[in-house]
Amino acid sequence: MERRDFLHDISQATVAICAGSLLAACSKSSDNNVTPPPPGGGNALITANLNSELTSVGSSKTGGSVIVIRTAAGNVPASFVALSLICTHMQCTVNYDAGASGFKCPCHGSEYNLSGAVTQGPAPSSLKKYTVAVNNNTLTVS
């Protein structure tokens, strides 16, 4: 094999490897939105003792990529909202702003209200909602 052919073959192989690595790094992974199960099993994403946690309107508790917020008085499911903290635009983690009663994505400026609805794009859809249950004074998000 001549030197010129050898260098040509090596350069093509290098380009192919780099292109494959670049494509793999840029692709979306379906595992990015998966919230790990809570310790000890079960399907609860967040639990809270309402005697000592989430006692005032606007207070919140996070667990993984999920947040639960008290929106009203009373220990009933309707007094809470549980949402994903993952922006529906580019899967960045949104920040909860209790003072503004909503969420803002630091990556591209999307904003959501307390019900998870988009109030400012570019996010294409609402934040994912989770089910809130209250049994005695224990709140569970699943």
| Within a domain: 22 | no
- 19-73 pLDDT tens trace: 455 444 443 443 333 334 443 335 788 889 898 988 889 888 988 888 898 889 9
| Within a domain: 35 | no
Question: Quick one: CA dihedral 44, 138, 77, 93, positive or negative?
Answer: negative
- 110-127 pLDDT tens trace: 888 998 889 888 888 888
| Within a domain: 21 | no
How many domains, the chain? Answer: 1
pLDDT of residue 139 exceeding 60, the answer is yes
Identify which of 98, 50, 110 has the alpha carbon closest to the alpha carbon of residue 74.
50
- pTM tops 0.75, yes or no: no
Looking at residue 28, what is its pLDDT?
Answer: 43
Instruction: Provide the CATH number for the domain around residue 62.
Output: 2.102.10.10
The strand order across the sheet containing 132-135 reads: 46-49, 138-141, 132-135
| Within a domain: 30 | no
| Within a domain: 24 | no
Domain span at 118 = 46-141
Half-sphere exposure of 16 (CA within 13 A, CB side): 6
Amino acid present at 51: N
| Within a domain: 10 | no
| Within a domain: 38 | no
